[in-house]
Amino acid sequence: MSDDLKTKHETYSLNFLQCEVANTLVKAIYVIENEAILIKDVKNGKLPISDLAAIKRSLLQQVKKMKELHDLMSSNIRKERSVVN
């Protein structure tokens, strides 16, 4: 692969990764904010306490996604460091 093509590919990969990170974070923030509202509604008696189980599942799914994102970012950083060294 030519150096120019390799640079374009690396730039594309980095831009793709940045978009994926941004999208994942936006989704996580949205879900967490909505779950916080639901917790407040449970506390105020507007929703039954049984809804807490669904809220917990949703929050744990977001934790899993954030861990996957962390692993992806860590892997990418290790890969970039190995190329530099």
CA dist 80 → 4, 17, 34, 59, 85 (Å): 18, 13, 36, 31, 9
Query: Domain residues for 62?
Result: 3-84
Q: Give me the tens of pLDDT residue by residue for the chain, a chain 85 residues long.
A: 566 656 666 676 777 878 888 888 898 899 999 999 999 999 999 999 999 999 999 999 999 988 988 888 888 777 777 766 6
Torsion angles phi and psi, residue 79, rounded to 5? -65, -45
Count of domains for the chain: 1
The first and second tokens of residue 66, run together, are 């954030």
pLDDT number for residue 70:
87
